Structure formats: C-alpha cells, structure tokens
Structure 1
C-alpha cells in the first residue's frame, strides 16, 4: 500500500525538523512526514555542545559568517543574506526558546540543555500535525510522475516533494550517485591529534592559547590548546583539522605539528624577550618564575626540553640555552601519529557536490522536486554552532521555495 504525502523529509535530525516546521507554518494544508531510520529522532541534537546544544554563533554579518566554513564559504553568502544568525535567535525566541551568548560567541539555550531544543521541535511538529515515523530506513528513491516514490524497510511512500536531511549517510549518498549526483568523497573533519611526547606527558587537562601549523603546508590556526591523555585537542586543533581535513587525510594523519605556545610572538622576538626577562629577574629561579601566561607545569616541561637545569637562576642561563628555550616556546615540533574523533562532535567533509544545488532554493539542479539541507551536501564548518546554522538556513530556504 502506498502512503501519500505532499512532502516527505528523510532524516529526523536538526535540519529535518527545522525544515518540516518552517514548511508547515507557511502551508497549513500540506500533509508532511519525517522519516527517521533510528528509534529516536534528534539524537545528535541531544549530545551536541556537551548536551547543551550550540544552536548558532553570534556572528551576524553574512560575509563574516561564511569565513567559518572550510567548505561552502562562497555558496553560503546568498543564503546567509536570507537567513542568518540573528534570524535564528528570533526564530527560537518566537518558539519559546531564548538563547544566550557566551564569551567566545557560541550561543546556547538559556536553559543550558539540548532537551529544550528537542522539546521545542517536538511540540511544534505535534501542533502542526507533522507525522514523525521512526524505524523507516530508506531502501530506494524513484522519480514518479512529478514527484517521488520512497521505499523503506516497512512501507512505500509517495510524495510531491522529497527533502533529504540525512547528514553523512553513505547509503543515501550511494542512492544520490545512482540518480546522477556527484559525491565528493567523505573524510573526517573536527578531530584531535594523537601525540606521544615527553613534553606533554602527564600534563592532561592543561591548556594554553597557541598558534599551530602543519609543517610543509599553509595550514595554520590559533586558539586554546588542550593537552589530553592521547595528545592535543581544543578549539585551535579542531580548527586546524577542519581547514586541513583533505590534506591531513592524504597524509594519513602522520605529520609534524609546529606549536607556538606564545601565540603571535616570533622566535626572534621571544629571544629578545627572554634576554630582557633574564636581566630584570636575574636572581629568580627559572622554574619558579614563569613570565608567560600558561601553566607552570607546562613551563617546567619546556625548561627541561631546552636542556636547562631546574635549579638555575635566570642570571645563569647561557645564550645557547635561551635560543633552545625560544625554540621550544615558539616552534615546538610534535609528531602526530593519528587522529581521534568524538562521536557527538563528529563532522564529515564531503557530500553532494555544491555545483549541483540551486542555493536560492536548495533544490537539486539534476532532480526536480528534490531538496537538500544540512550535512548531506559538501558543506561543513568549524565548531561553534556553525554547522547548525547551515542546517537552519537550508531549511528556511526550502520552506520559502515551497511557500504557496
């Protein structure tokens, strides 16, 4: 038996729900369903942002916002002029969820709970009589007349318009490829670096603001670095992994990471600084007097790595030792041997080729009446609420395109 709908959305995540709600609010008579392959909907929303849901980012200028997207920067300019971070804040406020801005620009619900976002979406779908159908794993997609036929593991659906918000689902990508779309091969983005090095051994939990580079490339990022059990993490590393997703995949995650723990101070400047510090603090012991803003234990580790005896006073340090210390502080080289990904923050670079999408409507250029939103397309961003913003914007554009 074929179940008929005006619109079927495949994928019960953030993009799917936002798209469905916005379409239903603009078209009261549409019969809409969300198909979800799992038992639960919105599971990624639940765990995002450490369970708080990083809804968007307080960057309100479209031309600035696009700079946070390693893939999609050019294509998102137009869409962000239609629906940007400020519109997201207003949308959630109108749906009973006020957002707050944190110091780093990330925005969360005031409740600090992702459940607030989930409840907001579930309540809206209930009010708008949108059918949520879990355990519906799509097996095939066919163009039928002027619409689509969708076969799942347990039912067959017919609809006028189909919307895919399935994220990085290889099975759906394969179907899209069979229907003529180009898939940019997926590689991980947003991952941490596995490093075994005596300089950071037993310093788990310490963090410092730093600039990181991948040796032999133009890849560079700045931000807080966090020392972990397995190596280095934190916003600076995650940024670097996002911008370098393809390059680092080609290197098989084996490369030299150069760390400037003094952030924007050069090797030459640091030598000058250390000479001045030596003159002004000659009687102080080098281990007890750390002149830089990072943890004392990290400072002690650099002193050892520079071959300086911990009992020495600043006055006793030779020029050679100052050069060695400056090298450790501004150009510490660490061998990266692999990556680690956190499932809840996992993002994939890759997906449907952006050239094959109409970014005014998010409709496929190849398959009429098929729309795409979220991470199914080859768009991804660094952490900070940007991937969600892409989902909201895509959903809004689709709802505008389907407005009667």
Structure 2
C-alpha cells in the first residue's frame, strides 16, 4: 500500500511530491508518468528557458491574468504565490531573474536547470517515478475497513491512500473522472495565434509594434466618426503585436485568444478583427496632423513616415489606402487622408483559423471548479483525491502564470494531503 500516488510527471506533480516527501520523509510516494520522459512541458517552456513565474506579488493583481480561475485562485495565492516560488528555487540554489515584461526565468537561461532541480530532489527524497505508465482505470474501494484507491496502469495496479491528479489536459483522465461523478467543462484551445492572409502584412514577418486589437461582434453594428457602419467589438486587448508568416501573434493576440477562448470557438475561428496601429492618436487628431504636414512637407507620403510605427508597415498601410507611391503630401485629397487614417486606426482583417502558440499549448476547460475545495485542492466529489495544474478549468495568459497555478496547486494539494494524514 502506497501513501500517495501522483498521476502526471509534470510541474504540478513534482512540486507536490517534493513538498509531501520533505514534510514526512518515510512516506511511500510514486509518480506515474504516461510518457517516456518527465517534465516535457517545463523543457519547452519559454523557448527552452522555462518561464517559471511572473514578478507580480499582489494576489489581487496576479489573479487578473487568469481568464478561468480568477475568483478561485485569490485565496490560494494568499497562501502561496510568486514570492514563495522564488523562495523555493533560491533555497535549492537556483536564482531567478526578472525581465522587462515581468517574466521570470532561471539565470542560467535553461529549463534544464529546473528539470534537474526537480528530478534530483525527487531522487534525494525517495520519490519513485514510473515512466510509460498511462492510467487505464481508477477505483475507490475498501478492504478490511480501510478505504483506498486502486490506480491501474498499462503495467500494474497500485493501491494508495491518497491520489493527486496532475495530468494536464488529458481527455482520458477527464473521461474517467466523469464516469466517477465529476463534472468536466468541455475543453477548447486557449493561447493561439490568428491565421490571416492579407497583403498589408504578407511581406513583413517578424515585425512587432504596440497596437490595440478588437474582435468584432458578428451581429452588432454601430456608427463611426465618419458615419460608416462598423461592428461593435466583443473582445479587446492591447500590447505588442507580432506579424508572422501565417498572420498575427504576440501578447496582444494571445491575450485575446485566452480571454475569448470560448467565444472564438463558437465563431469556428472565422471572424473579423480591427487593429489600431497608433493607439495614442485619435482619428480627428490624425487628420489635423496630416493637414499640418500638407503645408510643410513636399515629399511623397510613402517616403515620409510622420508617425511612430515601423517604416515597412507605414508603406503597406499607405498603399492599402489607395495612395499612389508618387503622391506627394500637397497633392493628397481629404478623402485619401481619411482612408489613411482609417487604415492606421481601424485596419480590418479577416481571421481564418488559428495556430497553436509554439509548444506552450494551453486548454480552457477541465474539472468544474465548483467541485474542488480550494483550501486543499481536494475533490468535493471523490474522497482522498486531489487536483493540481491544468486538469482543472484554470488557465492563464502567457508570462509564467500557468506555471504559477501549477506551483500553487501542487503546494496546497501537498498541504491538504499532509493535514489529512494527521487527522
């Protein structure tokens, strides 16, 4: 009979195992991993550098980065948050650094540092790791008056007093939980980029600029300042916008895809967006600026970039406005400058599908949060079962927040397990 079986050899699973084993060294703890390697998501995170957490130390601010789980994580983050994560790694000789955008990485710039920390700690504490062991069945049963879990893998059956599920977005585990009485929120993709084919961005991949992006409602319209019918936005985001070979990406788009995961799924990933490339400028103010430029500038509009946006983007937007390459500022008509203003402040793009954001695939959906005790991360439906990480209907925008959810859940599940053993 084992004391704890942890299903899933990822970030949350290892974090929980280390905390349980450290508190009571003689416990029998086994991690079951379905793959041939552990911590594979840690390995590829942050381009192989591992974005461990985010330098946001106020729990109220921290939870605002979670489209799903914001309310439920507030209490847990008061118990274990970014500062505690930093302390955990520093205690084990791993320094973290803060980058300009708040993301935190090991100073080694290598995810292997984090992997080596977890695997060496697990080994030191006597945690057993079973690879290539996908779970095929779970049953809560009783023998001689003792309740326990039978966890069956493709190789053998384990008997355990407590079980922690840290399996991420694993449909097979979700199906088993549903059969055992849990409610599962159907999964949909989160954190994806927008596939767009458009001449305005076709020849400038790699270019990044600060912009505002809005997803337009398919039904509602309103009037713009130029009295043309425009659609009302249902989702809005701002931040660095990256032009790629397949469309648009970067934090502005990724935030939209996370907050709009369920809406965009209902759209079948076919919708329109409006991009404001110069958010610090009002359309009326732009027209006034252009009127002044007309008075003093004799060169062509194409060659005279009068706004703080990348040169190649300016050229493309000028051409998209129907302005000829040879047209000079004095020759420009009011309607031509209005078209340019429209392209700068409200470029409409048609999104036709999505692409997963690198290897950092995140899913919205999972175990219904109403069925979890967030003081202990224990199931309210099944006895002696705990959850941590993305198996729950919790997900975040990019920046280290999904890992912070894993660390916090792993830590509090470990405390819940330990406290229940003392009762």
TM surpasses 0.5: yes
**Structure 2, unaligned stretches of length 5 or more?**
218-232
Q: Secondary structure at the match of 1:276?
A: helix
2:397 is equivalent to residue 396 of structure 1 = no
Alignment of 1:232-381 (within 5 A): 232-279=248-295, 281-342=296-357, 344-381=359-396
Q: Give the Å deviation of 1:220.
A: 0.5
| Distance in 1 separating the partners of 2:288 and 2:141 | 73
Q: Give the Å deviation of 1:343.
A: 5.1
Q: Give the Å deviation of 1:39.
A: 0.4
Q: Secondary structure at the match of 1:186?
A: strand
Once the two structures are superposed, residues 278-300 of structure 1 have per-residue CA deviations (whole angstroms, 9 ceiling, x without a partner) of: 34x42233222212222111100
| Distance in 2 separating the partners of 1:341 and 1:124 | 33
Q: Secondary structure at the match of 1:196?
A: coil
Alignment of 1:5-154 (within 5 A): 5-145=2-142, 146-154=147-155
Q: Give the Å deviation of 1:212.
A: 0.3
| Distance in 2 separating the partners of 1:8 and 1:292 | 59
| Distance in 1 separating the partners of 2:235 and 2:169 | 25
| Distance in 1 separating the partners of 2:5 and 2:26 | 14
Distance 1:276 1:85, change over 3 A: farther
Q: Give the Å deviation of 1:28.
A: 1.5
Q: Give the Å deviation of 1:264.
A: 4.0
Q: Give the Å deviation of 1:5.
A: 1.1
Which residue of structure 1 lines up, in the alignment, with residue 225 of structure 2? Answer: none
Which residue of structure 2 lines up, in the alignment, with residue 223 of structure 1? Answer: 239
Which residue of structure 1 lines up, in the alignment, with residue 161 of structure 2? Answer: 160
Q: Give the Å deviation of 1:227.
A: 1.0
| Distance in 1 separating the partners of 2:360 and 2:165 | 21
Alignment of 1:180-219 (within 5 A): 180-216=181-217, 217-219=233-235
Distance 1:23 1:275, change over 3 A: farther
Q: Secondary structure at the match of 1:75?
A: helix
Moved more, 392-401 or 281-290: 281-290
Q: Secondary structure at the match of 2:202?
A: coil
* 1:26–1:399 contact (8 Å) kept in structure 2: no
Which residue of structure 1 lines up, in the alignment, with residue 228 of structure 2? Answer: none
| Distance in 1 separating the partners of 2:240 and 2:398 | 13
**Structure 1, unaligned stretches of length 5 or more?**
none
| Distance in 2 separating the partners of 1:278 and 1:209 | 26
Moved more, 162-171 or 301-310: 301-310
Aligned residue pairs, count: 400
* 1:226–1:233 contact (8 Å) kept in structure 2: yes
Once the two structures are superposed, residues 175-206 of structure 1 have per-residue CA deviations (whole angstroms, 9 ceiling, x without a partner) of: 00001001000000000011111111111111
Moved more, 168-177 or 316-325: 316-325
Which residue of structure 1 lines up, in the alignment, with residue 176 of structure 2? Answer: 175
* 1:100–1:109 contact (8 Å) kept in structure 2: yes
| Distance in 2 separating the partners of 1:392 and 1:276 | 56
Moved more, 379-388 or 284-293: 284-293
Distance 1:401 1:203, change over 3 A: same
Pairwise CA RMSD = 1.2
Once the two structures are superposed, residues 262-290 of structure 1 have per-residue CA deviations (whole angstroms, 9 ceiling, x without a partner) of: 124333333233333434x4223322221
Q: Give the alignment's TM-score, normalised by structure 1.
A: 0.97
Which residue of structure 1 lines up, in the alignment, with residue 230 of structure 2? Answer: none
Q: Secondary structure at the match of 1:255?
A: strand
| Distance in 1 separating the partners of 2:290 and 2:99 | 35
| Distance in 1 separating the partners of 2:294 and 2:138 | 71
